[in-house]
């Protein structure tokens, strides 16, 4: 494909190191817990698992199965209208494994389950409660589906003891119909984030934007302002990478200098923290940034 953009040098990654990283990796082997970090071969695993200066190691796990009821154009998770039923033991098993693993910060992500009447919100909330019950020290972030804007489902998550409520806007408003599943919406995402904050003002809220899909600077700026207008506290910006040939093409590789500018703009707009860089994913060093922002 002659049209394909060459991978710039800043996206070529190195092998992770660090003693905390090796320790966590060894512990993980016996726990029967699979992480998104390993399965997606995420380049940030060394940094995230090591946890930075405060030692707040972060890992991400996926709940509610590996099959999504939606099909976003940037995502390689498999799709079905009727995924297998939920595993009722998942909340307790996950909590027990996470407790043994000794992480500082866990990000729970999930597929969308439009097939379930509550979108899986009770299952996710139960998982958070179990994790907190078994280990009150660990910080929990949940990257939640939009639950089609359903207030009860959002409230179930907002009030379950969660520390960070994350829901990704993914892209600017103009590109949303070309990037996300048609059931997801830019306005709906803003509404979900606002509803969570209205229900529980103490909850830290977070969102993420992928760059390199053809968005303009003005549109990125507007998206950041829209997120702030509904009280979103934390923001991440990262490069979109095409997972397979069937997915959306990369329009542009955004330079590290440009990502830095967005980080500075995020600070000016009042985000608690803005993590912005070519390799940043929504869970990138989440524990470390969260703790640092509290100590500021």
The least CB distance from residue 37 to ligand SF4, in Å, is 3
Q: For 72, list phi and psi in degrees, rounded to 5.
A: -80, 150
Question: In the set 28, 33, 45, 138, which binds ligand SF4 (CB under 6 A)?
Answer: 45
- DSSP-assigned states of every residue in 266-288: HHHHT-SEEEESTT--TTTTHHH
Nearer to ligand SF4 among residue 110 and residue 200 (C-beta)? 110
- Start-to-end CA span in the chain (Å): 48
Nearest-angstrom CA–CA distance, 157 and 122: 8
113 binds ligand SF4 (CB under 6 A): no
Contacts with ligand SF4, 165-204, as mask; x by CB under 6 A: ----------------x-----------------------
Report which of 211, 98, 105 is spatially closest to residue 166, judged by C-alpha positions. Answer: 105
**How open is the CA angle 237-172-256, to the nearest 5 degrees?**
30
128 belongs to the binding site for ligand SF4 (CB under 6 A): no
For residue 51, give Cα distances in angstroms to 242, 261, 288.
Answer: 28, 25, 6
CB of 45 to ligand SF4, least distance (A): 4
Which of 44, 200 has the CB closer to ligand SF4? 44
Measured CA distances, 284 to 7, 40, 71, 192 (Å)? 21, 13, 23, 22
Helix axes 186-199, 217-229, angle to 10 degrees: 30
- The region that residue 112 occupies, defined by phi over 0 for left and psi between -120 and 50 for alpha, beta otherwise, is beta
Piece in contact with ligand SF4 (CB under 6 A), picked from 6-14, 22-30, 38-46, 214-222: 38-46
Choosing from 101, 165, 259, 284, the residue that interacts with ligand SF4 (CB under 6 A) is 284
To ligand SF4, the closest distance from the beta carbon of 176 in angstroms equals 12
CB nearer to ligand SF4: pick between 37 and 125: 37
Q: Residue from 24, 28, 33, 44 that binds ligand SF4 (CB under 6 A)?
A: 44
- CA distance linking residue 111 with residue 138, whole number of Å: 23
Stretch that binds ligand SF4, among 93-101, 148-156, 207-215, 278-286 (CB under 6 A): 278-286
How crowded is the C-beta side of 184, counted as CA atoms within 13 Å? 26
**Binding mask 56-95 vs ligand SF4 (x if CB under 6 A, - otherwise)?**
--xxx-------x-xxx--x-x------------------
Q: Binding to ligand SF4 by residue 230, rule CB under 6 A?
A: no
- How many residues bind ligand SF4, per CB under 6 A? 23
37 binds ligand SF4 (CB under 6 A): yes
Kindly state the greatest CA–CA separation across the chain: 54
Q: Name the residue nearer to ligand SF4 (CB basis): 43 or 91.
A: 43
Instruction: State the Rg of the chain over Cα.
Output: 18
State the residues that interact with ligand SF4 by CB under 6 A.
36-37, 40, 42, 44-45, 48, 58-60, 68, 70-72, 75, 77, 107, 111-112, 181, 281, 283-284
């Amino acid at each position: 494909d002659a049209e394909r953009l060459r991978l710039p040098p800043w996206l070529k990654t190195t092998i992770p190191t660090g003693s905390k990283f090796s320790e966590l990796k060894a512990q993980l082997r016996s726990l029967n817990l699979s992480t998104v970090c390993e399965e997606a071969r995420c380049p940030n695993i060394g940094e995230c698992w090591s946890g930075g200066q405060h030692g707040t190691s972060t890992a991400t796990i996926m709940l509610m199965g590996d099959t999504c009821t939606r099909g976003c154009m940037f995502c390689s998770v498999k799709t079905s209208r009727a995924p297998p039923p939920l595993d009722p033991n998942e909340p307790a098993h996950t909590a027990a494994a996470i407790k043994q693993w000794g992480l500082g910060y866990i990000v729970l992500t999930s597929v969308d389950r439009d097939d379930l009447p509550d979108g899986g919100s009770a299952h996710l909330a139960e998982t958070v409660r179990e994790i907190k019950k078994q280990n009150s020290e660990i910080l929990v972030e949940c990257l939640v589906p939009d639950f089609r804007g359903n207030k009860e489902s959002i409230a179930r998550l907002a009030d379950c003891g969660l520390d960070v409520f994350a829901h990704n806007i993914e892209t600017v408003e103009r590109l949303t119909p070309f990037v996300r599943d048609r059931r997801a919406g830019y306005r709906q995402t803003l509404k979900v984030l606002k509803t969570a904050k209205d229900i529980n003002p103490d909850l830290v809220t977070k969102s993420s934007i992928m760059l390199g899909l053809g968005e303009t600077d003005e549109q990125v700026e507007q998206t950041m302002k829209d997120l702030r207008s509904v009280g979103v506290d934390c923001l991440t910006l990262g490069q979109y990478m095409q997972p397979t040939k069937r997915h959306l093409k990369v329009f542009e590789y955004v330079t590290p200098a440009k990502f830095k500018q967005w980080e500075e703009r995020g600070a000016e707009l009042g985000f608690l923290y803005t993590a912005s860089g070519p390799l940043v994913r929504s869970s990138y060093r989440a524990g470390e940034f969260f703790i640092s922002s509290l100590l500021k």
